[in-house]
Amino acid sequence: MRRLDAEDEVPVRDHFYMPAEWSPHARTWMQWPCRVAPWGTPEGMMLARQAYGVVARTIARFEPVTMVVRPEDKAEAQLVLGGKIDLFEAPIDDSWARDSGPTFLIDGKGGHAGVQWTFNAWGTKYTPFANDAAIATRILRSLDYKVYQGPLTVEGGALHVDGAGTLLVTEQCLLNENRNPELTRQQIEARLALYLGVLRIVWLGDGLKEDETDGHVDNIACFAPGGRVLLAMPRDKSDPNYPAMSDNLVRLHEARDAHGAKLEVVELPLPHTIRRRHDGSRLEMSYVNYYAANGAIILPAFDDPADEEARRIVADVFPGRQIVQIDALPIVEGGGGLHCITQQQPL
C-alpha cells in the first residue's frame, strides 16, 4: 500500500464527496455474472443471470441501467436483458458492481469524479481478480470523470454514507488483516475522510456470521433519510447473529452523526427461514441489502414470512417511493444481495 503524502490529489481538497444513495441518480451500473464459483454450478450461474436480468429490467423502469459484460457474453446478455439495458463491453472477473465498481463523487456544483479503490477480491477469496481491480477506472474514464486512486484496500459494500458527512463501516471488514494490515485504525479513518468527504465514522462491530465479505456493512445497516439507520435484527435470540447485531444496536444508539445529532434506529427483521448455500454455509439473507433507485426501493424477497413485514417497514421509511420486491434467492446464493450487484451513478 502506497503512502499518502501531503501533495497527493485527494477528493476532499477538490471539494468532492460521496452523496447519499437515495439522492438522484444518472444511472445504475451492474456487472454480468461470469464466474461459476460463487454460484456453485453452471446451472446456479444461469439462474443468477436470469435474476440479474429481472433486477436490471426492474431498475430500468425508474432510471437508465448499464451492464458491464465480457465481449464473449454479450449475445446471451442481450437476449436476457432486452433492449432497454445499455451494455458496456469490458474484461471482468466477477459480478459485484458495488464492490469492484467506482465510488462516485460529486462536488455539489455539477462536477463528478470517482474513486478506484484497491480491490483484492475480499481478501483473495476468488482468483483471478485483476480485471475487477481495474474496472472502476475503465468506467470512470469512459465517462470522462476524474479518477482518484484510493490508498486503501476496500470494497464499496463496506462503505455507507448519509451524504452529510457520516460514514458507516464495520471493524470486522475494514480492520481485517486480509485488507490493510499495515494501517492503523486512525490511518484508515484519515483515508476514508479524505476520499469520501466524511467528518465522522460510525464503527459497527461484526457483520453476519457466514458472510464471506468479512462483514460488509451493506448486509446489516444503512442510512436512510431523516437521520435514520436501518439495522438487520434477528427476532430470535437464539439466532447466531443475535449477539453481534445486539452489539451493533447499542453502538448505533450511542453514536452521533457528523452534526452531533442522535441516530434513529429502525430495526429490520432478518428472514425467519434458515437456508444453505451450495457449499453448506448459511445463506445470509438481509432486507437491508436493497437498492434505492430513482423513485423506488428495489427490495429483496426470500419466500419468507418476514418479507411483508420488511416491505411495510421500508415503505414507512421511504414514503412516496414505490416498493418493488424481487426474489433475491438466486442472487444471494452467490454471496451477495441486490445492493451488492448495483452501483449508483449520481446526477
Which residues are the active-site residues? 340
Rounded to an integer, what distance in angstroms lies between the CA atom of residue 139 and that of residue 113? 11
Distance from first CA to last CA of the chain, Å, rounded? 32
- Partners of 172 in beta bridges: none
Alpha-carbon distance of 227 to 246, in angstroms, equals 20
Q: What share of residues in the chain are helix, strand, coil (percent, to 5)?
A: 30, 25, 45
- In terms of DSSP H, where are the helices of the chain? 42-59, 74-81, 97-100, 121-124, 135-142, 171-174, 185-196, 242-254, 307-317, 329-332
Q: For residue 96, give every residue at least 6 positions away whose Cβ sits within 8 Å of its Cβ, in sequence order, or none.
A: 31, 155, 157, 336, 340, 341
Residues 252 and 229: beta-carbon distance below 8 Å: yes
Nearest Cα to Cα of residue 343 among 126, 135, 104: 104
Q: Are residues 67 and 104 in contact, defined by beta-carbon separation less than 8 angstroms?
A: no
Residue 158 is classified by DSSP as G
- Pairing mode of beta strands 160-161, 228-233: unpaired
> What residues pair up with 148 in beta bridges, in sequence order?
115
Which residues are bridge partners to 104 per DSSP?
114
Residue pair 92/126 in contact (Cβ under 8 Å)? The answer is no
Tell me the three cell numbers of residue 285.
439473507
Find out whether 256 and 203 touch, Cβ atoms under 8 Å: no
CA gap 339, 183 in Å, rounded: 28
